[in-house]
């Protein structure tokens, strides 16, 4: 009995549970929100915390990270984008994880989201995948040395006749 109890105790001490902190659909939905709305959406569940903000090209970019002292800090970057000629803003949300499996899990959700792969290739540092649908353009970069995965979700300009 003591042997089983000791085995269970060692297993529980060494076990590391992990869950995906965000889904691809949530990333896509963040592109339609301004910084205040997206920031409150991310921080409401205490899963993400604001690390810092900076102004780049007239946009205020905010960096959110998962809390804790682990070496696996996922990052979401909101606020980037560009202004169209009509004055509307098309936003980009970026997700960065040092755990490649996180990014691969998000890529696996592309079929559910109705995205089609338009490009698959690589450069000196990354495998690159581009997915698109009518409303969104997604660039996935998975490092060749398995050090990180990056996903950029950008709104597309929709032309209505």
pLDDT digits (tens, 9 = 90+) for 17-62: 445 678 999 999 999 999 999 999 999 888 899 999 999 988 999 9
Query: Mean pLDDT throughout 93-104?
Result: 93
For β-strands 116-122 and 126-132, DSSP reports them as: antiparallel
Query: CB neighbours of 50 closer than 8 A, spacing ≥ 6?
Result: 39, 43, 62, 63, 64
Query: Mean pLDDT throughout 98-102?
Result: 90
Q: What are the backbone dihedrals phi and psi of residue 98, each rounded to the nearest 5 degrees, phi first?
A: -75, -10
Picking from 88, 106, 122, the residue whose alpha carbon sits closest to that of residue 28 is: 106
Question: What is the percent of the chain where pLDDT is above 90?
Answer: 63
Q: How far is CA 11 from CA 18, 71, 107, in A?
A: 15, 22, 31
Picking from 62, 27, 52, 31, the residue whose alpha carbon sits closest to that of residue 158 is: 31
Query: CB neighbours of 9 closer than 8 A, spacing ≥ 6?
Result: none
Pick the CATH number of 20-155 from 3.30.1460, 3.10.450, 3.40.1350, 1.10.238: 3.30.1460
Report residue 75's pLDDT band, with 50, 70 and 90 as the boundaries. Answer: very high
Name the pTM for this structure.
0.83
pLDDT digits (tens, 9 = 90+) for 123-153: 999 999 999 999 999 999 999 998 999 999 9
Collapse the DSSP code of 23 into the 3-class scheme (helix H, G, I; strand E, B; otherwise coil) and give the result: coil
Write out the H or E segment, with its range, that includes residue 4.
Answer: helix 2-14
Query: Mean pLDDT throughout 102-110?
Result: 91
Which pLDDT does position 111 carry in this prediction?
81
Query: Mean pLDDT throughout 1-8?
Result: 46
Residue bearing the bigger pLDDT, 13 or 34: 34
pLDDT(8) > 80? no
* Mean pLDDT score across all residues of the chain: 85
Cβ atoms of residues 155 and 32 within 8 Å: yes
Domain edges within the chain? 20-155
Q: How many angstroms separate the CA atoms of 31 and 93, rounded?
A: 6
């Amino acid at each position: 009995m003591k042997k089983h109890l000791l085995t269970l105790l060692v297993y529980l001490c060494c076990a590391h549970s992990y869950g995906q902190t965000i889904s691809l659909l949530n990333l896509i939905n963040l592109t339609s929100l301004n910084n205040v709305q997206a920031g409150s959406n991310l921080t409401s569940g205490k899963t993400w915390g604001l690390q810092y903000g900076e102004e780049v090209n007239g946009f205020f970019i905010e960096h959110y990270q998962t809390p804790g002292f682990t070496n696996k800090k996922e990052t979401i970057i909101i606020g980037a984008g560009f202004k169209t000629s009509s004055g509307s803003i098309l936003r980009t949300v970026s997700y960065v994880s040092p755990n490649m499996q996180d990014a691969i899990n998000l890529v696996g959700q592309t079929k559910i989201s109705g995205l089609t792969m338009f490009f698959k290739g690589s450069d000196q540092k990354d495998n690159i995948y581009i997915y698109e649908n009518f409303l969104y353009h997604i660039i996935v970069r998975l490092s060749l040395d398995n050090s990180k995965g990056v996903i950029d979700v950008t709104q597309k300009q929709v032309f209505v006749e």
